[in-house]
Structure 1
Amino acid sequence: MPDPRILVGEIGRPHGVRGLVKIHAFTTEPSDIASYGPLTDAEGVRTFALGWLGGGVARIEGVADRDAAARLTGTRLYVARERLPPVEEEEFYLADLVGLDAATVEGEPQGRVVAVEDFGAGPFLTLRDAEGRETLLPFTRTVVPVVDVAGGKIQVALPDEVIVQPEPGENGLSEEPATAIAGASPLPRRSQHRRNGGQRDAAD
């Protein structure tokens, strides 16, 4: 089951000397992050009420100086799933894709979605098979024609080349991807930083 809390952003560096901060929002519209009410940290212990000022800058209630703002740098911000607006057709919260089983159009199992990443060229799904091997697939309508969140599955049409994550030291390789998707630049290994809060279209 998806986590009942959704990652919607991260606190960046201080902005000025009066406690303002940069906010890296993972929502469709950056300003939306301040409209969900108080947000929590990863542990659900601290809460943060944001006042959006524009340009990626926000005021956090109770934070009045640069030192206090600096101590929050890197804090991830979460919101309860039920406080988010419903998605439109062909839109998905990235967090809802994690945990879905993947199979080809022919029904061949391809593993399970364990992460959704965005390296700047659009979202990618990380699939992990029964042997623990990971594969990256672009999250487009062509490659992922069917997303059935309620049914717990997606259907994939594998491209000619996919990125397969080698095990450390496998065949003398480092932890760089073995193969790049045709027509794309080589991608780094899957980041630990998940952008799984905002809505993403499954577009071509």
Structure 2
Amino acid sequence: MTDTRIIVGAIAGAYGVHGEVRIKSFCAEPEAIADYAPLTSEDGTRTFDLTLTRAIKNGFAGQIKGIENKEEADALKGVTLFAERDTLPSLPDDEYYHADLIGLTVLDTGGTELGQVRNVLNHGAGDLLEVHGPNLKASVLLPFTMANVPTVDLASGRIIADPPEGLFE
């Protein structure tokens, strides 16, 4: 929760021969990724001034200032794009950025520690919290629903969970 940047997309390679790039947007409103520019690389050493040019299959074509040809665009393939948190929209009370959930301690409704959130996954049917803990043989995937996770307290760094019976055994 200390990082001031949130991942918003990735560069998927070149699009055409004139320096355009393929962009995968991870934003709730995919075209909004350009609104958060300048974007940075994961290590923060590179800055990208992105302009979307058109929608394409599985994403967008875009132009990055300073990228002039296919070779330069291809060299950026796989670069993840981050935006400063303060440029992103505020969320309603019951919505969270995945980055805010990672690292939170998960407690059951009786106060027993179950583990910590290692990752937030979504395979199409809803978000899953990957919980890892010292008393667990393997990571547990906890469905991130109101029934299973009634309380998220970002200020105290904890989640109260009411997991389905047998999930954490």
Q: Taking structure 1 as the reference length, what is the TM-score of the superposition?
A: 0.74
Report the number of matched residues.
Answer: 164
Task: Give the drift of 1:34.
Answer: 0.7
The 2-side partners of 1:142 and 1:17 are apart by 50
The aligned residue for residue 98 of structure 1 is 102
Contact 1:114 1:128 in 2 (8 A): yes
The 2-side partners of 1:54 and 1:30 are apart by 12
Q: Which residue of the other structure, out of 83, 105, 108, is the alignment partner of 2:112?
A: 108
The aligned residue for residue 154 of structure 1 is 159
In the TM superposition, what are the counterparts of 1:40-51 in structure 2 within 5 Å?
Answer: 40-51=40-51
The 2-side partners of 1:2 and 1:131 are apart by 27
Please identify, of 7-16 and 133-142, the stretch whose mean Cα deviation from structure 2 is larger.
Answer: 133-142
The aligned residue for residue 117 of structure 1 is 121
Kindly provide the amino acid, as one letter, of the partner of residue 40 in structure 2: T
- Summarize the Cα distance change of 1:54–1:104 in structure 2 as closer, same or farther, 3 Å threshold: farther
The aligned residue for residue 184 of structure 1 is none
Contact 2:114 2:168 in 1 (8 A): no
Whether 1:60 aligns to 2:64 is yes
- Summarize the Cα distance change of 1:97–1:2 in structure 2 as closer, same or farther, 3 Å threshold: farther
Kindly provide the amino acid, as one letter, of the partner of residue 156 in structure 1: A
Kindly provide the amino acid, as one letter, of the partner of residue 163 in structure 2: L
Contact 2:10 2:25 in 1 (8 A): yes
Q: Taking structure 2 as the reference length, what is the TM-score of the superposition?
A: 0.88
Superposed CA RMSD: 1.9
In the TM superposition, what are the counterparts of 1:143-182 in structure 2 within 5 Å?
Answer: 143-160=148-165, 162=167
Kindly provide the amino acid, as one letter, of the partner of residue 150 in structure 2: P
Unmatched segments (≥5 aa) in structure 1: 165-204
Moved over 6 A (4+): none
C-alpha distance after superposition, 1:70-95 (max 9, x if no partner):
11010001112222221112111110
- Summarize the Cα distance change of 1:99–1:20 in structure 2 as closer, same or farther, 3 Å threshold: same
- Summarize the Cα distance change of 1:59–1:99 in structure 2 as closer, same or farther, 3 Å threshold: same
Determine helix, strand or coil for the equivalent of 2:12. strand
The aligned residue for residue 8 of structure 1 is 8
The 2-side partners of 1:122 and 1:95 are apart by 16
- Sequence identity, in percent? 38
The 2-side partners of 1:7 and 1:41 are apart by 9
Task: Give the drift of 1:113.
Answer: 0.8
Q: Which residue of the other structure, out of 134, 137, 141, is the alignment partner of 1:136?
A: 141
| Structure with the bigger percentage of strand | 2
Contact 1:2 1:98 in 2 (8 A): no
Task: Give the drift of 1:49.
Answer: 0.7
Unmatched segments (≥5 aa) in structure 2: none
The 2-side partners of 1:120 and 1:66 are apart by 33
The aligned residue for residue 130 of structure 2 is 126
The 1-side partners of 2:145 and 2:53 are apart by 33
In the TM superposition, what are the counterparts of 1:29-48 in structure 2 within 5 Å?
Answer: 29-48=29-48
Contact 2:13 2:75 in 1 (8 A): no
